[in-house]
Structure 1
Amino acid sequence: MPRKARLPSPKNALPSGRANNFFWNTLSIYIMTTVIKQDDLIQSIADAIQFISYYHPADYIQHLARAYEREQSAAAKDAIAQILTNSRMCAEGRRPICQDTGIVNVFLKVGMDVRFELSCTLQEACDEGVRRGYLDPDNKLRASVLADPIFDRKNTKDNTPCILHVELVPGNTVDVQVASKGGGSENKSKFAMLNPSDSIVDWVLKTVPLMGAGWCPPGMLGIGVGGTAEKAMLMAKQSLMEDIDMYELLARGPQNKLEELRIELYEKVNALGIGAQGLGGLTTVLDIKINTYPTHAASKPIAMIPNCAATRHVHFVLDGSGVANLTPPSLSDWPDVHWAPDYNASKQVNLDTLTKEEVASWKPGQTLLLNGKMLTGRDAAHKRIQDMLAKGEPLPVDFTNRVIYYVGPVDPVREEVVGPAGPTTATRMDKFTDMMLEKTGLIAMIGKAERGPVAIESIKNHRSAYLMAVGGSAYLVSKAIRGAKVVGFEDLGMEAIYEFDVKDMPVTVAVDSSGTSVHTTGPREWQAKIGIIPVPA
């Protein structure tokens, strides 16, 4: 709230003339100035980070529920059911929706009549909010930020720094948007400098399939067109902070050319048949947002950034009255969807007695329930294994006839054996796949989304298999983990090698021993069924 001014005492003579005008102008500014205290800003950001870690925005839940109702693909419907069930569990248990609790983006629109009472820089204040939010002992979040992106790549341990954007605007409040952006979706960001005559629709339809499913659809696409390269990227990111309203837009109809373009892109992207988790289905995107800005006559910059199934952002306003008050969604916003293992349709697998022959018998699209002990490992662990093998050094664990899960879990709290532990994008491990299958005795892998041609060829050559767990269901997956311990590379933190003891962990055979990938066959089948975009011969 505006700070109250102390008016001059009647005993004191007021200035006259030019000095009098200066006095009253200064007093007017002083009266209208809003003072934002340092701890109010810090605590508001910390609270926002905790809030978005376990609450989906209500608009996302409502649109995903509609997608679930209309979905005809059994595999996609099952994936959406897991995401919805996970979302409600997180809201009730106040634990992260996804194990990747993101890199924090803070957008501040600072009113010109605002004054900050800070003993540090604005960046440092926002970083302290991030630090408090991520280290909260009741819901400690995974630290994923590395201080040096090129060389040492050492974890900062508190997920700082955040990415801060500040805009000066008229007014006496601070408008704040806080978002946590996961690496899986951020890595699928795309940018192009189109020719002025090039079609935006054609570029989007060509580009979306190249993104694969590592961004965890169904989600949202943010598009920025115009300005310069960096402006287009910023607009695309900012558009993801907007409410999902495609259902309402379709109901009332478009009112301008931009809304017409949004609808056209929404319908045509979904007609690609990519579907939930890339398994093939009716819904790939829940909404598409487009922001524009004037640009050079020779240019048509375009950026596209996806938001994943762990859509996390919140908006609030600081007016000087204290810490922001965040209102959680009502549990009635969630549909009556409660995923549970289907013991009739799924095959139970004992990992402790698993053989190469059994792995080779699995069929594409088959659902499995895994039981027993598996190992984990992701980017940093695979790189270290590669270096150790090259030097002839012994590995800290024997991978013979074992299954590896690509995951970096959240630390446990209270009675948990492990925190949320959903899969990470498998394609980042593609270049290590042949090494692992050839030199370590590994017989199968679990991750998120599709595998690339190099990995598929190696899987085929070694008669191995790749299993897919649903991204966006990390807390649900963690409930299948009955034991967890670090068995190698403890210094890597969340990227260490764990041994998980699981019971009925749900996965789908995504690439079988013959090299057939459901991320190829599924979308192709559903693109043909939808029948809007011809399937290439």
Structure 2
Amino acid sequence: MSTIKEQDIVDSIAEALQYISYYHPPDFIRHMAQALEDEESPSARDAITQILINSRMAALGRRPICQDTGSVNVFVKLGMGVRIESDKTLQEMIDEAIRRAYLADDNPLRASIVIDPLGSRKNSGDNTPGMLSVELVRGDLMSITVSAKGGGSENKAKFTVLEPSQSVADWVVSTVEGLGAGWCPPGILGIGVGGSADKAMLMAKEAMNEEMDMLELVRRGPSDKIEELRLEIFHRVNGLGIGAQGLGGKVTVLDVRIRSFPTHAASLPVALIPNCAATRHMHFELDGTGPAEFADPSITDWPEPILDRTTGSYRTVDLNCLSDEEISSWRCGDTLLLRGTLYTGRDAAHKRMVETLREGHAVPVDLRGKAIYYVGPVDPVGDEVIGPAGPTTATRMDRFTEEVLAGTGLKVMVGKAERGKEAIDAIARHRAAYLVAVGGAAYLVSKAVKKARRVAYDDLGMEAIYEMQVEDMPVTVAVDTRGQSIHLLGPALWRKQH
């Protein structure tokens, strides 16, 4: 019998959440470094390079890898010989830890959880509650896995029930091909097979947090049916040509993790949950002797060549002097460095702008001939102008694109992932352009922001409209004025060649 104190649980989880906000797991860095060596697509290599540079910068600066510091998932395997010394529920303890971690003065994390999801969707303000899963096991230890799951990859979770004779690999590959780039590849696929709908989804979520070993598995070959399936899916998904950030390339997935469980003879439940380039998780155990201790990783874990990145192939663009001629000269795949005024706006801001336009009024910011960035930044600390400020998934803004372009004169949008046909048609019709910044490089992007102030919709918090002054912010042209999309052309090119 061991007795674990409430404070040790709270302290350990709070520290773990801070830790994973700025440290990638070492196994992820190793696999990303190998991906950079293997990748041949220039656009994808640039994206992977930015992710690695950002990861190192976040580790050194102890600031979030990604602006989306995620929903908190806590998996507890509680030994039946454990007594928890507390009058609180485990959920209450975990929420206290989340509150402390996300409101920390020296490294505040973005609160993304909204309460009343079917109604007001008001932000909880402290990222509570967490998503808790508990399993009673033998022993006198409390085993805890903590992860922070970003919304872009979580939104791509899929579930199906196959017939027992159908191929799991076929379904996974077909499903990943249709996911788009909103899950920020390259990343990890967590797959749960068997059980029931809820069991399969839980296994997929847990599988993502296992230590990556695909480099070793490729080297030695499979030793059982599960490893054979992992390798098959790994090679087939990478053969799709999706590449980093969906720009086209050889590396889309770094590892495939699979868990299985007995199921009904008539069923083959399969769950798929991708984890993004901001993979964040850690595991620790409590035995009653005090809180967990976490050792900082060695900075040598990051590959040295990433420090030599140059920007010689980038073209500098002055956002304060955008002309139709300038924008029309951009082509899919061009890499740009943005300078000048850049406004921000996500889902809530776009919804309000469209409502205002429909009422016959002008929006509160003059966007004529300007650029807008789909981002919800982390609050700044110290002398920071703004906290980590990576792009959010642009697809969610597709429904607003035509009305915003037509009603405001906006010319340039910056986000991540692909645009749908409706949005691409609107972009071409208005001779506008869509650019992508690298998802998973939020701290790197924030260093390009030299000034920032809220200028509209202050009550929306991180979804308010900011006016930012940027300098040398790296982006890639994803949809040009002709309606050409790199998220269609890039993967098609690499799927054909490789």
TM-score normalised according to structure 2 size: 0.99
The CA distance in 2 between the partners of 1:320 and 1:491, in whole Å, is 44
SS at match of 1:417: coil
Kindly state the Cα deviation for residue 406 of structure 1 after the two structures are TM-superposed. Answer: 0.1
The CA distance in 1 between the partners of 2:243 and 2:477, in whole Å, is 17
SS at match of 1:66: helix
Which residue of 2 is the match for residue 438 of structure 1? 406
Does the 8 Å CA contact 1:341/1:504 hold for their aligned counterparts? no
Alignment of 1:11-50 (within 5 A): 33-50=1-18
Kindly state the Cα deviation for residue 119 of structure 1 after the two structures are TM-superposed. Answer: 2.4
Does the 8 Å CA contact 2:186/2:251 hold for their aligned counterparts? yes
Q: Structure 1 residues 464 and 238 mapped into 2: Cα distance closer, same or farther (>3 Å)?
A: same
Does the 8 Å CA contact 1:430/1:451 hold for their aligned counterparts? yes
The CA distance in 2 between the partners of 1:190 and 1:211, in whole Å, is 9
SS at match of 1:76: helix
Which residue of 2 is the match for residue 356 of structure 1? 324
Kindly state the Cα deviation for residue 470 of structure 1 after the two structures are TM-superposed. Answer: 0.4
Kindly state the Cα deviation for residue 342 of structure 1 after the two structures are TM-superposed. Answer: 4.4
Kindly state the Cα deviation for residue 328 of structure 1 after the two structures are TM-superposed. Answer: 2.3
Kindly state the Cα deviation for residue 200 of structure 1 after the two structures are TM-superposed. Answer: 1.0
Does the 8 Å CA contact 2:21/2:65 hold for their aligned counterparts? yes
Kindly state the Cα deviation for residue 195 of structure 1 after the two structures are TM-superposed. Answer: 1.3
The CA distance in 2 between the partners of 1:347 and 1:77, in whole Å, is 18
Structure 1: which 4+ aligned runs deviate by more than 6 Å?
Answer: none
The CA distance in 2 between the partners of 1:47 and 1:235, in whole Å, is 25
Which residue of 2 is the match for residue 464 of structure 1? 432
Among 259, 272, 287, which residue is 2:227 paired with? 259
Question: Does 2:283 match 1:315?
Answer: yes
Does the 8 Å CA contact 1:103/1:159 hold for their aligned counterparts? yes
Which residue of 2 is the match for residue 29 of structure 1? none
CA-to-partner distance for each residue in 1:480-528, whole Å, 9 max, x for gaps? 0000000000000000000110001000000000111111111111111
CA-to-partner distance for each residue in 1:370-411, whole Å, 9 max, x for gaps? 000011000010111111222223321111111000000000
Question: Does 2:99 match 1:135?
Answer: no
The CA distance in 1 between the partners of 2:496 and 2:307, in whole Å, is 29
Among 89, 96, 99, which residue is 2:64 paired with? 96
The CA distance in 1 between the partners of 2:349 and 2:305, in whole Å, is 37
State which drifts further: 96-105 or 253-262: 253-262
Kindly state the Cα deviation for residue 135 of structure 1 after the two structures are TM-superposed. Answer: 0.6
CA-to-partner distance for each residue in 1:195-245, whole Å, 9 max, x for gaps? 111111111121111110111111000000111111111100000110010
The CA distance in 2 between the partners of 1:260 and 1:209, in whole Å, is 20
Kindly state the Cα deviation for residue 449 of structure 1 after the two structures are TM-superposed. Answer: 1.2
Does the 8 Å CA contact 2:49/2:309 hold for their aligned counterparts? no
Which residue of 1 is the match for residue 359 of structure 2? 391
The CA distance in 1 between the partners of 2:307 and 2:182, in whole Å, is 22
Structure 1 gap ranges (5+) = 1-32, 531-537
The CA distance in 1 between the partners of 2:406 and 2:310, in whole Å, is 34
Among 400, 416, 427, which residue is 1:448 paired with? 416
SS at match of 1:427: helix
The CA distance in 2 between the partners of 1:94 and 1:316, in whole Å, is 20
Structure 2 gap ranges (5+) = none
Which residue of 2 is the match for residue 378 of structure 1? 346
Q: How many residues are treated as equivalent by the alignment?
A: 498
Kindly state the Cα deviation for residue 127 of structure 1 after the two structures are TM-superposed. Answer: 0.3
The CA distance in 2 between the partners of 1:339 and 1:451, in whole Å, is 32
The CA distance in 2 between the partners of 1:384 and 1:84, in whole Å, is 36
Question: Does 2:29 match 1:61?
Answer: yes
Kindly state the Cα deviation for residue 85 of structure 1 after the two structures are TM-superposed. Answer: 0.4
CA-to-partner distance for each residue in 1:42-62, whole Å, 9 max, x for gaps? 111100000000000000000
Which one-letter code corresponds to 2:89 in the other structure? Answer: T
Does the 8 Å CA contact 1:48/1:314 hold for their aligned counterparts? yes
Which residue of 1 is the match for residue 379 of structure 2? 411
Which residue of 2 is the match for residue 421 of structure 1? 389
Does the 8 Å CA contact 1:84/1:337 hold for their aligned counterparts? no
Alignment of 1:189-204 (within 5 A): 189-204=157-172
Among 271, 282, 286, which residue is 2:250 paired with? 282
Kindly state the Cα deviation for residue 357 of structure 1 after the two structures are TM-superposed. Answer: 2.6
Which one-letter code corresponds to 1:132 in the other structure? Answer: R
Among 160, 171, 182, which residue is 2:150 paired with? 182
The CA distance in 2 between the partners of 1:50 and 1:398, in whole Å, is 38
Does the 8 Å CA contact 1:85/1:337 hold for their aligned counterparts? no
Kindly state the Cα deviation for residue 343 of structure 1 after the two structures are TM-superposed. Answer: 4.6
Determine what percentage of the aligned residue pairs are the same residue.
60
Instruction: Report the aligned-residue RMSD.
Output: 1.0
Which residue of 2 is the match for residue 248 of structure 1? 216
Which residue of 2 is the match for residue 232 of structure 1? 200
Which one-letter code corresponds to 1:492 in the other structure? Answer: L
CA-to-partner distance for each residue in 1:432-460, whole Å, 9 max, x for gaps? 00011111110110000111111111111
SS at match of 1:338: helix
Q: Structure 1 residues 103 and 219 mapped into 2: Cα distance closer, same or farther (>3 Å)?
A: same
Kindly state the Cα deviation for residue 360 of structure 1 after the two structures are TM-superposed. Answer: 1.7
Does the 8 Å CA contact 2:364/2:456 hold for their aligned counterparts? yes
Which one-letter code corresponds to 1:378 in the other structure? Answer: R
The CA distance in 2 between the partners of 1:71 and 1:336, in whole Å, is 17
Which residue of 2 is the match for residue 223 of structure 1? 191
CA-to-partner distance for each residue in 1:78-131, whole Å, 9 max, x for gaps? 100000000000110000000000000000000001011112111000000000
SS at match of 1:87: helix
SS at match of 2:114: coil
The CA distance in 2 between the partners of 1:395 and 1:212, in whole Å, is 31
Question: Does 2:489 match 1:525?
Answer: no
The CA distance in 2 between the partners of 1:181 and 1:116, in whole Å, is 27
Kindly state the Cα deviation for residue 337 of structure 1 after the two structures are TM-superposed. Answer: 3.3
Who wins on radius of gyration, i.e. which is larger? 1
Which one-letter code corresponds to 2:357 in the other structure? Answer: L
State which drifts further: 324-333 or 366-375: 324-333
The CA distance in 2 between the partners of 1:466 and 1:485, in whole Å, is 23
Which one-letter code corresponds to 1:76 in the other structure? Answer: A
Which residue of 1 is the match for residue 468 of structure 2? 500
Which residue of 2 is the match for residue 479 of structure 1? 447
CA-to-partner distance for each residue in 1:141-194, whole Å, 9 max, x for gaps? 000000111110000000000000000000001000000000000001111111
